[in-house]
Every structure is written in C-alpha cells, then in structure tokens.
Structure 1
Amino acid sequence: MSAPAIDTAAQPILSARGLVKSFGGFKAVDGVDLDVAPGSIHALIGPNGAGKSTLFGLLTRFHTLSAGKITLDGHDISHTKPAEVVRLGMVRSFQISAIFPHLTALENVRVALQRRHGFDRQFWKPVASLRALDAEAMSLLEAVGLQDLRDHVAVNLSYGRKRALEIATTLALDPKVMLLDEPMAGMAAADVAVVAELILKVRKGRTVLMVEHNLGVVEDLCDRVTVLARGRVLAEGGFDEVRADPVVKEAYIGASDDD
C-alpha cells in the first residue's frame, strides 16, 4: 500500500515546545520539542527509560507538565483535561490492550461509539437503542478485518486480533491524531505484518504518532523518526538519516556493519 504524500511545510497538527516532566529531582522528559506533520506516521524511538511513554502521557494530558507548551490542531492543550483532548481529536492506545475482555468484538466497538454519539451520558435510553450503532460498528470491524469475529468474546481473540480490535475502538472515537504505544509489542512476526498493514490502511485522513521498538516496522511505516535518550531529543529525520547518525548509533541502534 503506497503512502500518501506528506506536506512537511504544513503547520504541524501536533506540536510541543520545551516539554519538561520532573518526578522529584529526576527529569523524565527534559526540554523536548516535537512537530508532527498532518497525515504522517511519526515514530518515537529510543532505549528503555528514554522518556517515550512519559512524553505520550504529557501529550495526552495524563501527566501534568512541569514546563512547556502543547498545541493540537492550533489549540493550546497544555492544561487541558484528558477527556477534552479526546474530544479535540487525539486518542491514545496503550501497551496493554485496553479492550473489555468479556464483551464481544462488536460490543467493544459499540461502547466506544456510545461515547462519541453521547449515549454514555444518556442513561435513560433503552439498551435496544444501541442497536442503531451496529452498522457503524460493523464498518469499523471490517476496516480492521474482524467482521467475521463480531460475536467472538474479546478474551478469546489472538493477541494480534486484540490489538486490531483496540485500533477499531480507537477509530470509533474518530480521531485526527492516533497515538499508538508499542502496537507491535509481544507479537509474532505474522501478527506484526498484519497490524503494520492495518496501520497503513487506517492512517488515511489521520495522523499517527507511535512508540515502537521494532526498527523494521519503523523503517517500513514511518515518514519521520524522533530519537529520545535520557528524556531529550537526540536526533530527528527520516529513518535512513537517523540510522546514519553516529550519535544515534552510539546511544541506541549500535555500531554499523562496517565497524
């Protein structure tokens, strides 16, 4: 599947300036600047402890900023509550699958749709009224290849299909920006290929920011890569550019084949 052209000169849909997060005297994120182009797949990579997940928490407002500014599609969200960030169009998935294990695939997507359509605040509505969301839920299941598993309880799905279901529930919130936290973690090679293809498929009309340790996936999927180390940006650019950076080689990727 060919990737759409990315307008790198366009105003970033997600931008961060001087982000700092301190835990006591330790700075987990230390002066990070980040620009994510609209329509791009942008990767955050770095060794364990580099601050990637903490940065995700800052961007989605699950962590309080110690310093800095975040804008989403022109809105200053530096002090915005997480639920409002979702309403503004940025949704995060987590390393650990966040689906309801004892609901079916269809019911999981329908729960996510309930929030977007306001049904989560309309407790007086009969359960039967939720059936109106079934067609949209099925469309989302089809988008991630799970239409034939609509009535399967989530706990019984394979790991790769659980991740696909989580992407479907994320899509149900109609995000402009999807933040994927290690979407390939713990997957067999076959599932990695399926989910990678799925990310390429669902990125149409959206922006994806992802933390990922699988550098093969990063090389295949991502338009731009930001490397973090010890809470700071070490390098940024295309994958080949970052891979060739001697500072990155030393700190993260390792010595080249010629060394």
Structure 2
Amino acid sequence: MGTEGEKRKVELEGAVRPRRRWRRWILLAPALWVLFSICQVVVLRFIDPPFSSVMALRQLEAWGRGDWKFRLHHQWVDLDGMARSVPISLVAAEDQRFPEHNGFDLKAIEKARDHNAQGRRLRGASTISQQVAKNLFLWQGRSWLRKGLEAWYTVLIELFWPKQRILEMYANVAEFGDGIYGVQAASRQFWGKDAARLSAAESARLAAVLPSPRRYSATRPGPYVQRRAAWIQRQARQLGGAGYVEQID
C-alpha cells in the first residue's frame, strides 16, 4: 500500500509540474513582451528600419490575393536629406501641436469628439507620434487591442526618441500613394527626383493626400487636394516655415 501510495504521489507531482511551468510562462509573457517592445523602440532610435509592419502586411496581403507582381516602393532618407519644406508641411497638415504635446493631443481629441457628436463627417485626432506607432509596429484597422498597443508604443516613442527622430520616421513610413512609402520613394515615383529637390508646392501636395493616399493623388490633384495643399502652405508659413522644424528638440 505504501509503495502504491508513493507511486501515485510521484505521478501527481509529475502531472502538476508541467502545469506550473506553463503557468510561470503565462505570467512571464507580458513582462517579456514589455521588455521586447522597449528594446524595439530603443534600437530604432539609432537604426533606420528597412520596412514597417504596415508595409510587410501590405505585401503579404497582395501575395495572399495572388498579386505576385505587386512591389512596394520605399527608400529611406534622413531628415537633412529632404527638402526643408517636407517636414514643416507634414506638421502643418497632420499635427500642428507636435512640438508641444507628449504624444497625445488632448485638445484635438476633445475637438474631434465634439465634431463627431454633431453627426458630421468623422474626424480623427491622431498625432504624428501615434501614426508612427501604428505604421511602424502595428497594423491598419480599428480595434481596442490595436488602439491600446498604439498608445503603449506612442508613450515609448515619446519617451526614448527626440521629436526630430519621430518626424523623420513618419516621413519615411507614411504612405503617399498605392504601395509608395516615404517621401523619397514618393518623390522618385511622382516627379523623378530626390526628396531633397522637392518644392514647397510639391511637399504640400504630398502632405495633402494624407491620410487617404489611395484616394487622392499628389501628381493629379483634384479640387480638394489643391485647396488643402494651398492651406498647408499658408499654415506652414504661419508656423514659421522650415526654421520652425529645426528648432524642435
């Protein structure tokens, strides 16, 4: 009896041990993911990524529907390799309080909420930092999970990156045309020249197609893009022009 009892005890302990191991890993997984995400952001402060998660998912999506000829267009360019009109146009178009907030523009969120509550066309309030978080690390779409991860990465980006790095990253991962990511690829595809040679009008038109680059065209601008590009140029001048971006820490 004693021997059988001991065997039974050993069997039970053997069955419990793997469960404890799995439980330990389940408890450790969130901490490991937090550490991994922090490492991602810290490394990308200094290293230019060859692509973003949104780019990779876009390529996989094309292959998934059998479009084997689809190719992404992307080429990295540093901030000082762009025309000075590019970054200020992006700030003027997308996030005029970019130098002031810590990743979340509470005033813009409140205005968007009031606007949407009146039944008007939906307006977003994402900052440039939030858009970098989404484009670089996550995926397109709407879900509470993605919004939560976006908020987490936004906090990390603002914590570890200077503002100019955030703006440089945004200019390189934003989509400006169907499968065309970053201002260098856009400039080469649309006008056959490097981003350093973009005019103020061309920079404004690139910013004007955001956030709907597959709906609007920077090279064949309709009335909406023309009006918005003109507004962006006015806003850029009022903000202080190219020198405004150079003063951002």
Q: TM-score range by the shorter chain?
A: under 0.3
Q: TM-score, normalised by structure 1?
A: 0.25
Higher strand share: 1
Higher helix share: 2
